[in-house]
Amino acid sequence: GNSVTQMEGPVTLSEEAFLTINCTYTATGYPSLFWYVQYPGEGLQLLLKATKADDKGSNKGFEATYRKETTSFHLEKGSVQVSDSAVYFCALSDLRSYGKLTFGQGTILTVHP
């Protein structure tokens, strides 16, 4: 079956530091890959996505590249802000699961001023 593994948190950074959150996946088909962000007390918001190999998703300074050869979709941001503090979820879906999302366990990010 499908699975997603994220680096364990929590991750604590100072403002303007470089961020990487690792995500690897296992899937039998050709999944679409997503990063969702959850701010405290809120639901999930789509941060970015990529639907095929070598695609790069980007939004709000965050980027992730769909790497089929390493089955990875690492999230990066060059300079984090305090407002980026949240929980980040990597997820995949594929046609065979009819749009069902398989989530990673989530990574808590805290950015200090």
Which residues would be at the binding site for another protein (CB under 8 A)?
31-32, 34, 36, 42-46, 49, 51, 89, 93-95, 98-101, 103-106, 108
Is there a contact between 36 and 44 (Cβ–Cβ < 8 Å)? Answer: yes
Nearer to another protein, 41 or 113 (CB): 41
Nearer to another protein, 17 or 101 (CB): 101
| Least distance to another protein, CB of residue 99, Å | 5
| Least distance to another protein, CB of residue 89, Å | 7
- Say how many Å lie between the first and final Cα of the chain, rounded: 41
- Which amino acid is it at 54? D
Only one residue has tokens 């190999």, namely 53
Residues shown for the chain: 113
